[in-house]
Chain A
């Protein structure tokens, strides 16, 4: 499967990275408008609400950043795995394992200084998410099991384990609801700006993709990882230990999904329960692919998806548009962008 590489010419790159996404968004909105009109909805009211749902006030903007945070973190992780040619469909499970670990530390470490406890919780999330992903990596390189299958299965298993934890060993003291107690107040990630819910986790969502990008494109290890993704046989001949790259790449990918889970628990939810992810692991795949598996690009595609989710809520409230419109728009944007990119490659073949 091909990885999309950035074009050599600045003009072409600008066109590819700015104009094409904007065109894709426009095309998706047009098709969406047609659908809404055909179903008898007021298109102007709908899109007006979508706009003000995103930019209407400071709180909404903060909300878009908040909703983008887990998508960016998960997406950046997926980008690393996909760049290495290992198809990690298991970010959802890795997210849950990270969330469980983050909640565990959040519940236990309240007495410690937050400066120590919060990083510990995030690291625990990364560790658990990474280890969970490493299972699939290990099964691939040692037993030859296809990671597409194992990661999908491990998603269900992880969710089952979290379900067990919140009704068993980690259930709240009153043993009533299937959830843990709330994490200690000192463990809650601080908010960044007054009047907005966006929290310190968003800074991680800006920082970690940059680190991932440096790692991928500026270090020998990143080069080896991408070489494996580009052609594992050639990489093997060049002396790269392919299997090790696979396991490392998927572990790192899982670690980022795990951090996302821990951040969601510490920053937004405040405890663990079974349905904390509305499919971030799967949406994260789309977010990464939309950014051509470039961790920095993931920041923007994550923001776009987060904004659409936020805007759709007002669209639902004021114009009665079913919330599923978000998924349609997201899917159309990806479909158009990938088509435009492919078209562009045909019209101006890369030299």
Chain B
């Protein structure tokens, strides 16, 4: 506005540019030291880095953290993890790990696949994987747990379909194939029993416990007596609503982990996703050098131990041995290909 103030701004700019240049020069010198660190220890240490979207205290990222802890304990891996929820930061997180000589970098979610695909060619000595995704490179191979989880929840859907009195179930999810598609599997299982209907509610925010709870209450008021949530922490709200509703005619199926403790009187069974088991094989391959790039490792119920079921002993009167046998039978048919779970349109 005034010439003096313009001059002042000019000076500010000059100072900032100088500061940036000084910083840049200091920075440009730094990588000169890095290659030595890069080349030498690659053979020495087995290092695993994890990039995850949410705090490791929640169910989804907690599973990945448990996975790298197992790699530390059983494979002697040096582990580190970083939470990156901001898409502009994905690539940097991957290249930071890779440039520090990490052997394996795991991105915990399909959303990381673009970044892994872009970064991996620059770091041929590092292996990359993401949990979900379909892109690959020579040293990047994602794992896809969705097909098997759709099958596992199909079996849960068959069981829930037998239990339901109102013949209505509701699922709660977020817009993400890793959360949504497994519930489509549940739908097909539940609706395989004639007359059953399943409705799906998509929540906007995986942190909004309150919205999850309200959604569950609306579904129950609409007649659903089986609820299943795969919606991160908003799913806790669903289970809380089921736990608080007072009468024992509404039940829930747990996902991702064993969720029995969140509604001890109402969770029929949980279908945990054993991510540590699935990622362990990847880590072993990375350690002994047999890692296969250019491929997507798809998991199905044929992969032992990845899709276990945990039945709630408090509800043994409903989830009877016959009921559990029905689940086992369904899984056997899925394994044999007698039943197939369809991808929804």
Contacts and interface: CB of A to CB of B under 8 A. Distances in A.
Chains A and B share a contact (CB less than 8 Å): yes
Interface string A297-329: 100100100000110011011000001000000
A328 to B, nearest CB: 16
Contacts of B91: 197
A71 to B, nearest CB: 10
A316 B1 contact: no
Contacts of B8: 6, 10, 13-14, 17
Q: Is chain B's binding surface mostly helix, strand, loop or mixed? A: helix
Interface in A28-85: 54-61, 63, 66-67, 70
B15 A7 contact: no
A113 interface: no
- Residue in B8, B83, B85 whose Cβ sees the most chain A Cβ within 10 Å: B8
**Interface of chain A: mostly helix, strand, loop or mixed:** helix
Interface residues of A, number: 54
Given A6-B5, A7-B5, A163-B175, A57 B84 contact: no
B27 A18 contact: no
B48 to A, nearest CB: 13
A13 B5 contact: yes
A264 B86 CA distance: 12
Interface string B1-45: 110110111011101100010011011101100100000000000
B114 interface: yes
Interface in A139-162: none
Given A58-B31, A174-B134, A316-B82, A300 B12 contact: yes
Given A7-B5, A10-B4, A268 B83 contact: no
10 contacts: A6-B5, A17-B12, A58-B24, A58-B28, A58-B30, A167-B175, A178-B176, A269-B88, A275-B87, A313-B93
Instruction: List the 5 shortest-distance A-B pairs measured between CB atoms, nearest first.
Output: A13-B8, A6-B5, A57-B30, A278-B86, A55-B23
Nearest to B97: A317
Given A13-B4, A18-B15, A182-B114, A276 B87 contact: yes
Contacts of B9: 17, 296-297
Nearest to B99: A59
Interface in B242-290: none
Interface in B76-118: 80, 82-89, 91-93, 95-96, 99, 110-111, 114
B177 interface: yes
Interface residues of B, number: 44
A107 B288 CA distance: 41
A9 interface: yes
Interface string A1-12: 000011111100
A177 interface: yes
Given A58-B24, A269-B88, A300-B12, A317 B2 contact: no
A317 B26 CA distance: 22
A9 B5 CA distance: 8
Interface string B195-226: 00000000000000000000000000000000
A174 B181 CA distance: 14
A58 B7 CA distance: 30
Contact of A176 (B4, B26, B80, B134): B134
Contacts of B11: 14, 18
A13 B1 CA distance: 12
A175 to B, nearest CB: 8
Contacts of B30: 56-58
Contact of A63 (B85, B92, B176): B92
B23 to A, nearest CB: 4
Contacts of A310: 89, 92
A273 B91 CA distance: 16
Contacts of B84: 313
Nearest to B88: A268
